Structure 1
């Protein structure tokens, strides 16, 4: 039997996060609707479950490390010393995706049926203020006022293999690759292609942030600033962000330090 190493798209389509976690020896500590909570996944000795997966979207979010993403992103976080090819190989091996070599009669072995996972669809975006739950979430973060005109309400849904639809909504902002970075009380993630977010301003000054919520908190206290803004959105973009930041004379980094 030959193990088949799946590419990134095949891993996302054929292997679910809960399947991989089960192969790694983790079982949900709590379940509520589409959310499953796990203990001690990315960090040991956690006092309570902080690692969550949304089984409808097949996305994860860790409340301690503030990391999130799909199954490939999880592999990169779980095995930090591996590159993406090694992560894909490891996932393929753990989930036993394999194919049998045809026998001498020429009959191929039965193909394993791919596990279907639902895909999200963005239905529409609206200005802030249309949905009270989103308003209350942003108010709880202390950024409601400054978020007006900066964030959108993003409405999206998934349809599973049984044609069942479930709707979701969140606050969100668009990255430069067309994806939507969404935030709500129970979920953080990216819908579509990942990317950074750039807001042009002063050509000589740049303020660099890990996420848009941090940017808005800063903006609230620095409303007069005309700095250009670069929101990294995901840790893997830090090298690219540093390269772009090098083109500016003055950079305010994630920690608020200035580098002329």
Structure 2
């Protein structure tokens, strides 16, 4: 009999990334407040901790691969041969989590797993880049300062946890089409609010598909003329949605760095007609 596994939303609510990492055999090299720093999670032979988990928001960022996201995004990065559905099934099996009828507190004498409470965050202010010296320094250190001007914003937000404690943060970011903000900073990168793709309208018959907004900015810096419509995934979980959107265009190009071409993305590219792949430098 096939087990009825939780959906992605339930996995995100019930399984902390730090707990999954512990089950996978990883211990934090250091803990700085709510940030847990790990070594050799997505890449081996690391000297310094590059993988960071924000325990409050239950999201992660890897400085070496420049990837980030929630627990499902981590599973896709950690098990590159699995698609999102297989990752959900694997995590469910890992923690023996399955759906139970609403309102039932015990099954076969076992307590129902309680969902982990994720703190509330609030975006306080949005400013153009150049107002905050730390954000500017971060963008300069990543070689992004020139291409960020006029495209990225400074996002100021705070988190209130279940004990009503408030902590303020800021980062560079851009807004996706669902109103959420994709942010990038020195110690954390992820999404605030609803995750979504970013669409920039252009030529109605041609489309370029990017995996990450930074790749798009690098391309735009070298291609200043108006041209095709742009669709940016922002997260691997939108591969199938991007594939459907791309099918409405006559010409489709895919601009991905080689290091980001995981199995799921490649599968989607193969379904795009014509599948023209442009590798970033």
Further displaced range: 35-44 or 240-249:
240-249
Shift of 1:210: 1.9
* Offset, 1:236: 3.1
For residues 169-208 of structure 1, the aligned pairs below 5 Å read: 169-208=170-209
Output the CA distance in 2 between the equivalents of 1:74 and 1:55: 14
What TM-score, normalized by structure 2, do the two folds share?
0.75
Deviations 1:13-50 (A, max 9, x none): 33321122112221112233332222232344444432
Shift of 1:53: 0.7
- Write the deviation string for residues 67-94 of structure 1: whole angstroms up to 9, x where unpaired: 2111232233334455555544543454
Aligned to 1:105: none
Q: 1:18 to 1:244 in 2, by over 3 A?
A: same
CA contact (8 A) 1:204 1:248 kept: yes
Q: 1:82 to 1:69 in 2, by over 3 A?
A: same
Question: Equivalents in 2 of 1:6, 1:54: separation in Å?
Answer: 23
SS at match of 1:254: strand
| Alignment root-mean-square deviation, CA | 3.1
Larger radius of gyration: 1
Number of residue pairs aligned between Structure 1 and Structure 2: 252
- Note closer, same or farther for the CA distance 1:125–1:101 as it changes in structure 2 (3 Å cut): same
Which whole-Å CA distance do the structure 1 matches of 2:224 and 2:196 have between them?
25
1:215 maps to 216
Query: Is the 2:157–2:168 contact (alpha carbons within 8 Å) kept by the matching residues of 1?
Result: yes
Q: 1:205 to 1:92 in 2, by over 3 A?
A: closer
Structure 1, unmatched stretches of 5+, are 103-107
Aligned counterparts, 1:103-118, within 5 A: 114-118=115-119
CA distances 1:220-260 after superposition (whole Å, capped 9, x unpaired): 2221233322222122333443443344444443159968x
Aligned partners of 1:74 and 1:211: how far apart in 2?
Answer: 16
Tell me, yes or no, if the aligned pair for 1:6 and 1:88 is still in contact at 8 Å. yes
The answer to whether residue 57 in structure 2 is matched with residue 78 in structure 1 is no
Cα distance per residue 1:113-132 (max 9 Å; x no partner): 55433232222322222222
Instruction: Report SS of the residue matched to 1:207.
Output: strand
Between the aligned partners of 2:230 and 2:36, the Cα distance in structure 1 is 35
Return the alpha-carbon distance in structure 1 between the equivalents of residues 231 and 89 of structure 2. Answer: 33
- Provide the secondary structure at the position in 2 that maps to 1:41: coil
| Residue 139 of structure 1, CA deviation | 2.9
